Amino acid sequence: MLIRVEDLSYTYAPGTPLERVALQGVNLEIGPGERVGVLGPTGSGKSTLVQHLAGLLEPTAGQVWLDGVAAHARTAAARARRQRVGLAFQYPEDQIFEQTVFREVAFGPRYLELGAAEITARVRWALEMVGLDSPAMEGRMPLTLSGGEMRRVALAGILAMRPEVLILDEPTAGLDPRGRRELLGRVRAWQEQIGFTLILVSHNLGELARVAERAVVLARGQVVADGSARQVLSDGESLRAAGLDVPQTVALLQALRQAGWEVRTDRLLPEEAVAEIVQAAKLGLAKSVSLRKPEREEARL
Amino acid sequence: MPPFIEAHKLEYAYPLEGGKRILALRGIDLAIEQGEFVALVGPNGSGKSTLARHLNGLLLPTAGEVRVGGLLTSDSRHLWTVRQQVGMVFQNPDNQLVASTVEEDVAFGPENQALPPAEIRRRVDEALGVVGLNGYRTHPPQMLSGGQKQLLAIAGALASRPACIVFDEPTSMLDPPGRRRVLETIRRLNAEERLTVVLITQSMDEAAAARRVLVMHAGRIAMDGPPVEVFEQEEQLQALGLDLPPVVEIAHRLRERGTPLPTGLLTVEALARALC
């Protein structure tokens, strides 16, 4: 599905004392199968934007097109397209309400008026995708599961709709490091296997660096950067101007560069930064690290 | 003098339906001194929040004991003294704001202690000053940003003049600027106001700012030491499902690949200096 956002503006509570402009003239095009990270400080408009992509909000001005149809329109064509956009809000497990895991995951597909066999097949497939496939699990009460398991059940409910676009708003918030790693690994595997468009909203630059190939930065309701994840996430100046942190790998490489090292600064993952530093040291681009290092070590001893 | 907070063979079992119980804390021995800055880390379900709720008597041990300032939390005569000494700030600021303006919200605690109006005023001014929300006294709390709301929650806790505040993942719902401000405030309260701080966090980076890190696992304290020492134990941390802060991970990997680096590098600046 092709998503086109055209001059999109949105104002909350217009004409009241609580009026607040959330989006101002946003333009964006996201093609099928792209992996896009969306970042920006609180209040920058990220959640407002993704709700427009799912057709949940009607633009104050401008338009969001899903394959050429206005996303929020009250037509059969628009509804069909909205059903192909899966949006997981922050803490999606808060919205779980069914009595069993099976019924919870089946809720969306039932709404699509599929046959019983197809619904069962989709629920089983979705639970397998999130790693919760077992007959015992299907009958469990969601509220007796751990937080991480509940989140996976909530995501299975969205996957069971077989979306062409999957939007995840801070999917790993509140999970511990292992839980975060596991969930992100799954998201990447789903994307590779199914090929849907992935839109990931996150404050965690490390996560974005691992999952997204393209990054869009919002600040004060406007797109202030849009490009390859590597380029956007290593542009310290514009990240800081948008009120965001600079990835620690980038900050380190920038500090080394200032000290005269010939290193690239667009290395976002710790292993990439290490490779860059080791290589620079080897090639003698680092003002003879290897010579000076031992002295310093001795001085410490 | 006994430690300010002391847990001895502390156990806690959550009751389940049908008379079953889940043992969340399995024998904790812990001493925290006045003025310490302790970070509490560990995977989900390891017992961090359960332990935190014992430090001011929100939960009472099912076995063993907890003392605050020498007083047993399980002795109901001491409960209010204990709660006055140990404040709590939770993850979601929206759940702990109670009034319609910023200053009324901060006044809530002192008012409940039935203090004279002049004293309440003094404490509200002081608490708002410390967290830097002086300019927002008449604002409705819901108009503040997430980070500001969390600072307001901290001011509310401070107004009761506690000796210690337990922060339960105070930054996990905030954006980077909000996170920085809250963390700086916590650090300053500890360094300048001599507030004892217990900070529960999922971020190893935040834990690195503490002077002592406790790692919890399956209801027990698995590691306890200064951040530098705890982060040295990379394998053990990974076995417990935890990550290293990026800077520490980079330093480890560089060392593995033959770059001689001193230990104890916790910040980008320190690592860059050591490399140059």
For A232-281, what is each residue's pLDDT tens digit?
A: 999 999 999 998 889 999 999 999 999 999 999 999 999 999 999 999 98
Q: Which pLDDT does position A286 carry in this prediction?
A: 58
Average pLDDT (B183-193) is 93
Minimal CA separation from A121 to chain B, in Å? 32
- Start-to-end Cα distance in chain A: 62
Minimal CA separation from A142 to chain B, in Å? 15
Length of chain B in residues, anyone?
276
Q: Does A206 touch chain B (CB under 8 A)?
A: yes
Residues forming beta bridges with residue B89, ordered by sequence position: B167
Q: What is the pLDDT of residues A89-115, one digit of tens each?
A: 988 998 899 999 999 999 999 988 899
Nearest CB to B176: which of A43, A245, A248?
A245
Residues forming beta bridges with residue A168, ordered by sequence position: A88, A200
Nearest CB to B254: which of A42, A176, A278?
A278
Torsion of CA B194, B200, B204, B210, to 10 degrees: 10
Instruction: State how far the Cα of A96 lies from the Cα of A104, in Å rounded to an integer.
Output: 7
* Cα three-residue angle A51-A143-A105, rounded to 5 degrees: 55
* Cα three-residue angle B215-A210-A27, rounded to 5 degrees: 125
pLDDT for residue B17 is more than 80? no
Q: Which residues of B165-195 are buried (b: 16+ CB within 10 A; e: fewer)?
A: bbbbbbbbbbbbbbbebbbebbbebbeeeeb
Nearest CB to B257: which of A173, A274, A300?
A274
Q: Which pLDDT does position A204 carry in this prediction?
A: 86
For residue B113, what is the enclosing H or E element? Answer: none
Q: Which pLDDT does position B144 carry in this prediction?
A: 85
Q: Which two tokens stand for residue B141?
A: 């709390």
Average pLDDT (A129-142) is 90
pLDDT for residue A301 is more than 50? no
Q: Does A223 touch chain B (CB under 8 A)?
A: no
DSSP secondary-structure letter at B174? S
Instruction: State how far the Cα of B249 lies from the Cα of B226, in Å rounded to an integer.
Output: 17
Residue B258: closest C-alpha in chain A: A278
Nearest CB to B45: which of A42, A146, A255?
A146
The DSSP string of B227-263 is: HHHHHH-HHHHHHTT-PPPHHHHHHHHHHHTT----S
Q: Which site among A39, A217, A252 would you substitute to test the B interface, given the most B Cβ atoms closer than 10 Å to its Cβ?
A: A252
Confidence of residue A206 (pLDDT cuts 50, 70, 90): confident
Sheet holding B196-200, edge to edge: B86-89, B164-168, B196-200, B37-41, B212-217, B220-225
Minimal CA separation from B242 to chain A, in Å? 6
Tell me which chain A residues have a C-beta less than 8 angstroms from the C-beta of B169: 174
Contact B275 A176 (CB under 8 A): no
> Which residue did the predictor score with more confidence, B147 or A154?
A154
pLDDT for residue B178 is more than 90? no
Please name which of B155, B42, B56, B52 lies closest in space to residue B101, comparing C-alpha atoms. Answer: B155
> Which residue did the predictor score with more confidence, B143 or B209?
B209
Residue B261: closest C-alpha in chain A: A297
Instruction: State how far the Cα of A235 lies from the Cα of A233, in Å rounded to an integer.
Output: 6
Q: Which pLDDT does position B232 carry in this prediction?
A: 87
Q: Give the helix ranges, DSSP H, for A140-269.
A: 147-159, 177-194, 205-211, 229-233, 236-241, 248-258
Site of tokens 């509140």: A174
Q: Which pLDDT does position A296 carry in this prediction?
A: 43
Give how far the C-alpha of residue A64 lies from the chain's centroid of Cα atoms, to the nearest Å: 19
Confidence of residue B77 (pLDDT cuts 50, 70, 90): very high
Considering the entire predicted model, what is its pTM? Answer: 0.83
